[in-house]
Amino acid sequence: MNYIRNILNSRSSSNGNFFLQLEKIIGFKPKTKSLYVKAFTHRSMNVKDKNGAAVNYERLEFVGDAMLGAVIASYLYGEVPQGDEGYLTKMRSKVVSREHLNELGKELNLINFVESKIPKNNFGNNIHGNLFEALVGAIFLDRGYKYCEKFIYKRVIDAHVDIETLEGKVISYKSLLIEWCQKEKKTFDYNVYEDTGNDDIKHFSVKLSIDKKVVAKARATSKKKAEEKASKRAFFALQNKISRPF
Active site residues: 65, 133
The answer to whether the beta carbons of residues 43 and 115 sit under 8 Å apart is: no
CA distances from 241 to 87, 217, 235 (A): 23, 19, 9
Rounded to 5, what percent of the chain is helix, strand, coil?
A: 60, 10, 30
SS3 54: strand
Q: Is 120 exposed, middle or buried (0-12, 13-18, 19+ CB in 10 A)?
A: exposed
Residues in the chain: 246
SS3 15: coil
CA distances from 130 to 62, 99, 114 (A): 9, 11, 11
What span, in angstroms and rounded, lies between the C-alpha atoms of 246 and 224? 22
